[in-house]
Amino acid sequence: MNSVQKIISQVMSHYGFRHKYQVAKYFGVTPQALSTWLTNGNIPSRHILKVRSDIHDTELPEPQGSSIEENKTVIDYLINENVRLKNKVSKLNARIHNLQSDDLFERINSRSLILVGRLSDGVIKEASGNWYESMGYLETDLINHRYDEGFFHPEDAEKIKNNQMNILKSTGIKESRFSTIRRWKHGQNGTYVMLSMVWYIDVDKDQVEIIAKPIDLDLDSVFVKN
């Protein structure tokens, strides 16, 4: 059995091929080209490299000396394979990163507490998020109540009221966004929980949106799980 027949037999055995046209398809050539290889007793070097790369058989013959044009073809093939593999690895890494990031954000956002209310009187109109597990309130315990009805610590409630009045008196402020840390009373045990809060204010719409998270949450555990 010559080297061409041996290589073709190994490809057929390795992949379970039963017909020569399957081998031709594997190499990306026509069945006629495969017949020419058998007749001439020679396989182009780039195809030998493909078999050596896929099957990892140390007994496969080394590529024979060839022309400059054929060497260029082999080099182009190797470059293309290298680029293809790099792209594949890059896409895989990006996918892993996205999966990890999505999972991290999902776990962090699961602790988000959201309130929407009126700027003018501080009445809460919407509440969503994990209020009961985190703070001991049902959403119905919050809606249609004012911010200062015992939810905030009295000192913090006074600061919020002053800030509210300053914004309402101002003629130049239409929108505002700021971050604060405020104490909010737990609905079940009465203790105050520190909340990191981001406030979005739209004066024209008379609307305040608040996104809060308990800052006693052990964020290290969130990142370790990721």
Q: Which residues contact 207 (CB under 8 A, 6 or more apart)?
A: 116, 117, 118, 119, 201
Q: What is the pLDDT of residue 193?
A: 92
The CATH architecture assigned to 111-225 reads: 2-Layer Sandwich (3.30)
**Among candidate residues 103, 135, 100, the one with its CA nearest the CA of residue 214:** 135
Q: Helical H runs in 110-145?
A: 131-135
Phi, psi of 192, deg, nearest 5: -95, 130
Instruction: Output the pLDDT for position 104.
Output: 47
Residue partners of 200: CB distance under 8 A and separation at least 6: 175, 176, 177, 208, 209, 210, 211
- State the Cα–Cα distance between residues 180 and 126, nearest whole angstrom: 20
In what helix (H) or strand (E) does residue 83 lie, and over which residues does it extend? helix 68-109
pTM for the model stands at 0.49
- Render pLDDT for 95-139 as a digit per residue (tens, 0 to 9): 666 655 555 445 555 568 999 999 999 999 999 988 998 899 999
Q: Which two tokens stand for residue 208?
A: 């305040």
Q: What is the pLDDT of residues 20-50, one digit of tens each?
A: 888 888 888 898 888 888 888 888 877 877 7
Which 3 state secondary structure label does DSSP give 80?
A: helix
Rounded to 5 degrees, φ, ψ at 25 are -65, -40
